[in-house]
Amino acid sequence: MNTNTGHLIGYARVSTDDQEAQLQHDALAAAGCTRVFTDKASGKNTDRPELAAVLDYVRPGDILCVWKLDRFARSLIDLVNMVDALAARGVGFKVLTGALASIDPNTPDGRLMLQVVGAMAEFERSLIKDRTRAGLDAARAQGRVGGRPAVMDADKLAAAKARKAQGESVTAIAKALKVSRATLYRALSDAE
């Protein structure tokens, strides 16, 4: 059991560069975190350099603090393994909001709750994926296709081919058709 002789160290994560971690930073600072490590990466992304840095940084007696459980682990197995590894090093773990906010995952009861809540979160993510996939399949069956509309239609492709045959550069063709060079290259290679 951690006796809290060290520091409270925070970890925050947002999924994209467009998102801000300020809410998490404010909550972690209010909880007393002396330092906060922040990743801007999807939770499914295994390359989270700031998570690796905080796991390396914490020392026995410290408590690793996260705003919400889903900001920390990618799966139940990942969560349990990381919390176990922290406990083996004498590092505590604390969640500020959500189902685990009032639970110490370093106690047997807290560990059980950690596993139950983690399993529920993983189950919910699976349901969301299944519903999304089913919705996309149903839309496809009705002839609707999701995603962005194609930039290169048949007319633009024909014009691009004719201009290319006359020796015009891809850059000039892309500019004239108001598409990116990458889009033009892709459309021309798909058409071959």
Q: Are residues 16 and 105 in the same domain?
A: yes
Question: Would you state the pLDDT for residue 119?
Answer: 78
Q: Are residues 88 and 181 in the same domain?
A: no
How many structural domains does the chain have?
2
Question: Would you state the pLDDT for residue 44?
Answer: 64
Given 15, 75, 126, 180, the catalytic residue: 15
Q: Are residues 173 and 119 in the same domain?
A: no
Residue 181 φ then ψ, to 5°: -65, -40
Q: Are residues 21 and 111 in the same domain?
A: yes
- With beta carbons less than 8 A apart as the criterion, state whether 157 and 148 touch: no
Q: Are residues 163 and 116 in the same domain?
A: no
**pLDDT tens, 137-147?**
888 888 887 77
- Residue 118: inside a domain: yes
Q: Are residues 105 and 171 in the same domain?
A: no
Domain span including residue 28: 8-123
- Residue 48: inside a domain: yes
The answer, as to whether pTM is greater than 0.85, is no
- Residue 2: inside a domain: no
Q: Are residues 106 and 177 in the same domain?
A: no
- 35 pLDDT tier (thresholds 50, 70, 90): very high
d(CA 13, CA 41): 7
Q: What is the DSSP string of 115-132?
A: HHHHHHHHHHHHHHHHHH
- Residue 142: inside a domain: no
- Residue 136: inside a domain: no
**pLDDT tens, 1-27?**
444 568 999 999 988 766 788 899 999
For this structure, is 180 an active site residue?
A: no
Q: Are residues 39 and 91 in the same domain?
A: yes
Burial class (CB in 10 A: 0-12, 13-18, 19+), 13: buried
Q: In the numeric block, which tokens belong to residue 65? A: 């603090």
**What is the pLDDT of the chain when averaged over all its residues?**
85
- Mean of pLDDT values over 153-178: 91
- Residue 166: inside a domain: yes
| Domain boundary residue, one of 123, 143, 171 | 123
Task: Read off the CATH number of the domain in which 101 is found.
Answer: 3.40.50.1390
Q: Are residues 85 and 16 in the same domain?
A: yes
- Residue 108: inside a domain: yes
Q: Are residues 24 and 119 in the same domain?
A: yes
